[in-house]
Chains A and B, each alone.
Chain A
Amino acid sequence: MSLPRRPSVVAESLAQLGSAGLFLFGILAAIPRSLRHFQETVRQVWFVGAMSLVIVMTCGLFVGMVLSLQLYYTLSIFGGTAALGTVVALSLFRELGPVVTALLFAGRAGTSVTAEIGLMRATDQLSAMEMMAVDPMAYVVAPRFIAGILAMPLLVCVFNALGILGAHLVGVSWLGLDNGTFWGNMTASVDVWKDVVNGVVKSTVFGAVIALIATFQGYTTPPTSEGVAYATTRTVVSSSIVVLALDFVMTAFLM
């Protein structure tokens, strides 16, 4: 007896991509109905946003500190330590802030959203909602998707602020760079629209993508403990790859 042929990895990936696309349309169609559950959206912004603050703030601070340390050493070779504030700020606003926060967000909030929805699927809670004529796309999925879009830019702003604070602590307080030089060069070189807003746009897109991947993986997970575990892992892996790939594409367009 011959075993049935398994679909190739490419075919499976394309099928997943197509399903995720349809799922996105489902979410967009459910968003107007989800406005009825505004409290749920607020709760989710708190859950994925505020609850991620500690890890984002801590990482932001340390990323800023190590960035300052490395750049100070490199810049000092060329006698350009005065540019420390500028380089740190541009690195954070343009790249590190959105990308590192997105990776942290996928690990902290994305996984919990996938696991939560996956367990709701496994324990028939989503089916129970459907039987009570409550659309899970509007009540469960759309609020988490909106929360991801709203929370990510805010978290990136916090990450950037803490990063600059960390860079200031190392560059000015520890290594002795002049405070006025640090802030003056930074404010003179950073463009609000070109640097700050572009970073916020990136982070909004990353938030949407991570929220889509997390909700999709949770919603479509096989209703088993192994299925939920795999879905959670896939959320982190897929989100990380897509964020980094999208970052390249968006940087190319936004520069």
Chain B
Amino acid sequence: MTTTRDVSATTPAASAVEVRGLRTVLNGKVIFDGIDLDIARGRVTAIMGPSGTGKTTLLRHVTGQLAPDAGSVRVDGENVPTLSRAKLFALREKIGYLFQNSALLTDFTVFENVAFPLRQHLRLPEELVRTIVLTRLQAVGLRGAAHLMPAELSGGMARRVALARAIVRDPSLMIYDEPFVGLDPIALNQVLKLIRTLNDTLGITSILVAHEFAAVRRVADHVYLIAGGKVAAQGHPDELAERDSPWTRQFFGGEADGPVPFQYPARDYATDLGFPEARR
């Protein structure tokens, strides 16, 4: 597998996505508290962090699905929150997005799902559409499942179909939200290869949200670890794994104790169970 391994900090000019002073408050909870990020062009950048830390929310900011309370999110130099709907849709035509829950169109077959973006935006001969769709399905190992309906697929298969759909128009920016969930080791290996190959051969930029550090380590050039509304750490995955900071030690070591609380904020445990005397 060919990998680009450069741990140097990226300059804004080399950034496909540039986030500055991003602040987001959802339902009274501060998700981001003025974070800065640069997603280097042509690289695979992973966003990691504890559950509920706002990784998917960050992707929603990048794709204009959610406006931030403050700060800027620039994709290819365009400030996403200020774009008109028409310009936002024009930008999204260059983005491939793999949803966390696949989000396949349930009334369409696998083939029709993958063909959907082509048919909506391009007037291609049906024979060409068929060829493109089958090559993408072949890449994710599901050419033989082209006739199946989404309800007939397993979670992992649905994710691979969604991946085929996301890459069908050769986007310049690929966003993967939890691409490894539900994949068996064979499919995981193939998806990792696919992400890397797509990135390197087509020269695209990839953003990857994942929890599986072993998988991320194999594919990512740069990792941002987000926790507590801030960038807790960043760098090359190998370097991060060896870095001795409380954040990386807890997250990559999977420890319950550390700066990231395992428990959601709650009242005292004994009091909640009705044993206040246990506290004395």
Residues of A within 8 A of B (CB): 119-120, 123-125, 127-135, 139
Contacts and interface: CB of A to CB of B under 8 A. Distances in A.
Given A132-B92, A132-B116, A133-B89, A127 B65 contact: yes
B280 interface: no
Contacts of B120: 132-134, 139
A119 B150 CA distance: 14
Given A123-B101, A124-B99, A124-B101, A133 B106 contact: no
Nearest to B113: A128
A136 to B, nearest CB: 11
Contacts of B99: 124, 127-128, 131
A127 B100 CA distance: 12
Nearest to B108: A125
B117 A130 contact: no
Name the 5 nearest CB pairs between A and B, nearest first: A128-B103, A124-B103, A133-B89, A131-B97, A133-B92
B106 A123 contact: yes
Nearest to B168: A132
A252 to B, nearest CB: 41
Given A132-B116, A132-B120, A133-B121, A127 B92 contact: no
B90 interface: yes
B225 interface: no
Contact of A130 (B92, B101, B104, B105): B92
B97 A125 contact: no
Interface of B: 63, 65, 89-90, 92-93, 95, 97, 99, 101, 103-106, 116-117, 120-121, 165
Nearest to A128: B103
Nearest to B89: A133
28 contacts: A119-B106, A123-B101, A123-B103, A124-B101, A124-B103, A125-B103, A125-B104, A125-B105, A125-B106, A127-B65, A127-B103, A128-B105, A129-B105, A130-B65, A131-B63, A131-B92, A131-B95, A131-B99, A133-B89, A133-B90, A133-B92, A133-B93, A133-B120, A133-B121, A134-B116, A134-B117, A135-B89, A139-B120
B27 to A, nearest CB: 13
A134 B88 CA distance: 11
A23 to B, nearest CB: 15
A133 B87 CA distance: 10
A124, A131, A133 — most chain B CB neighbours (10 Å): A131
Contacts of A123: 101, 103, 106
Given A132-B165, A135-B89, 16 more contacts: A125-B104, A125-B105, A125-B106, A128-B97, A128-B104, A128-B105, A131-B63, A131-B95, A131-B99, A132-B97, A132-B117, A132-B120, A133-B121, A134-B116, A134-B120, A139-B120
B116 to A, nearest CB: 7
Contacts of B165: 132
B75 to A, nearest CB: 13
Contacts of A120: 106
A120 B104 CA distance: 10
A119 B151 CA distance: 14
B155 to A, nearest CB: 13
A26 B90 CA distance: 19
A135 B106 CA distance: 17
Contacts of A133: 89-90, 92-93, 117, 120-121
Contacts of A135: 89
A137 to B, nearest CB: 10
Contacts of B95: 131
A33 to B, nearest CB: 11
Nearest to B120: A134
B92 to A, nearest CB: 4
A43 B92 CA distance: 27
Contacts of A128: 97, 99, 103-105
Contacts of B89: 133, 135
A132 B97 CA distance: 8
Nearest to B85: A135
Contacts of B101: 123-124
Contacts of B65: 127, 130-131
Contacts of A124: 99, 101, 103
A120 B101 CA distance: 12
A129 B116 CA distance: 9
B91 to A, nearest CB: 8
Contacts of B106: 119-120, 123, 125
